[in-house]
Amino acid sequence: MALVALLWVALALNYIDRQMVFSIFPALKRELAFTDVQLGLIGSVFAWVYSLGMPVAGRLADRFRRDRMIVLSLVLWSLATLGCGLAGSVTAFLIWRAVMGITESLYFPAAVGTIAAAHSGATRSQALGIHQSAQLIGIIAGGWYGGWMADHWGWRWGFMLASCAGVAYALVLLRGLPANRAEVVADSGNPWRIAFGLFRGRCYSMLCLAFFAFCSMLWVFYAWFPNHLVERFGLSMSESGFRATVFVQLSCGAGVLIGGRLADTLSKRHAAARYYIAGCGILLSAPFGYLTFAASSLDVTTAFSVCYGLASGLMVSNVFAAAYDVIGQRNYGLAAGVLNMIGGFAASIMIFLAGVLKGTIGFSGLLLYVAVGCVVVALGLMWTARLELD
């Protein structure tokens, strides 16, 4: 587990750097004159370029040394974080967010491919789930840290200090990560052509569709929940950043641990176990996601967000492990890259759409439609896995 521990910290830094911005929307409105639509673009621009870079990053992770890709990605996204802190206009800030998306895309396929290759099916969901839990801690830390820095030191200092932390940890990884390269050198063909070939499997195709639906709701939480708490209940940026992340992410972490352990145990008897648990996670989280934004009191909002986080953890812990149940090791990086690309497309669409529609149907109106879609695809995912694997 030493490898997982090293990469856990890297992924936590990854999410701190990308998440802190969502807690400082009021400061960006005040100092750089962002509009609501432009605030939505902060998340969408990142997600667009991050997603488009994923298949290429995944193919690179299947062909070259993954440890070097991980270190390079950390250094580059830390420099992009510094660029955000120095930006003097809306345009400059959005450009640096795009650069951050490109550089962060190099990390994830290399990291999950490394972990999956090191862990057999008996421990894979747990190992990947523990690594994925860093995302949850990073979101909590980034949400609180961004708001606290904006309230006390200024948002620019927040980005600068985070950049320094990333470069320092890259030196730790450079010394601590073992050399890692895919055991089988993958086909050198066009990564997009090979990526489309993955969809010949119905289980993987349905998993991608389910991940799109799941991320459509998830990223409204990540991007707009802090701002929702400020506008709905009058919280400060630091308090909203904390409340919007700590309850939902800690409960999600519990769901990740439960889902990972349960899937590894049940997969010994049922080949489709990871798909069933992932589908249940989407099915259960959908109504709670809607209710979180529809609730009229802060305590009820918090309670629903905890329920949403716990259920969503079942999906988070199993989505990549489920993909590796039907994808060969030579395409581990690419399979993870394509999944993350699809999740990123969902994020980019929903973050921007939420900004556009917040003044009309509102977040709860939008999430009602998303919740219905999540229920449909969750049932489809479990039915497909039952037919194909069990």
SS3 181: strand
298-309 CB burial, b ≥16 within 10 A, e <16: eeebbbbbbbbb
Mean pLDDT of 310-329: 89
183 within domain boundaries = no
127 within domain boundaries = yes
45 within domain boundaries = yes
188 within domain boundaries = no
Q: What is the pTM of this model?
A: 0.75
What is the model's pLDDT at position 183?
54
186 within domain boundaries = no
Query: What is the C-alpha to C-alpha distance for residues 358 and 362, in angstroms, rounded to an integer?
Result: 4
Query: What is the C-alpha to C-alpha distance for residues 385 and 284, in angstroms, rounded to an integer?
Result: 18
Give the highest mean pLDDT range of 2-11, 194-203, 320-329, 345-354. Answer: 2-11
| Placement of tokens 């802060």 in the chain | 298
191 within domain boundaries = no
| Placement of tokens 């489309």 in the chain | 196
What is the model's pLDDT at position 311?
96
Rounding to the nearest 10 degrees, give the CA dihedral for residues 102, 106, 108, 110. Answer: 170
264, two tokens? 């590894």
pLDDT in tens, 302-319: 999 999 999 999 999 899
Q: Is pLDDT at 109 greater than 90 in this prediction?
A: no
118, two tokens? 């090191």
β-bridge partners, 65: 181
pLDDT in tens, 25-38: 888 888 898 887 88
Closest-CA residue to 331 (of 204, 211, 161, 246): 204
**Whether 212 contacts 376, CB under 8 Å:** no
Q: Which helix (H) or strand (E) holds 163?
A: helix 155-176
pLDDT in tens, 153-178: 998 999 999 999 999 999 999 887 87
SS3 65: strand
What is the model's pLDDT at position 94?
94
What is the model's pLDDT at position 162?
93
What is the model's pLDDT at position 335?
84
Give the lowest-confidence range in 142-156, 276-290, 370-384: 142-156
Query: What is the C-alpha to C-alpha distance for residues 210 and 335, in angstroms, rounded to an integer?
Result: 15
Percent of the chain with pLDDT over 70: 94
169, two tokens? 């940890």
Strands of the chain (E only): list them.
Answer: none
For the chain, the domain total comes to: 1
φ and ψ of 65, to 5 deg? -65, 120
Altogether, the residues listed in the chain come to a count of: 390
β-bridge partners, 181: 65
192 within domain boundaries = no
What is the model's pLDDT at position 186?
45
Q: Which helix (H) or strand (E) holds 373?
A: helix 362-388
Instruction: Provide the residue range defining the domain that includes 10.
Output: 2-178+199-388
Q: What is the CATH number of the domain that holds 112?
A: 1.20.1250.20
Mean pLDDT of the chain: 87
What is the model's pLDDT at position 208?
94
372 within domain boundaries = yes
Query: What is the C-alpha to C-alpha distance for residues 301 and 288, in angstroms, rounded to an integer?
Result: 10
Query: What is the C-alpha to C-alpha distance for residues 255 and 218, in angstroms, rounded to an integer?
Result: 15
157, two tokens? 């200092």
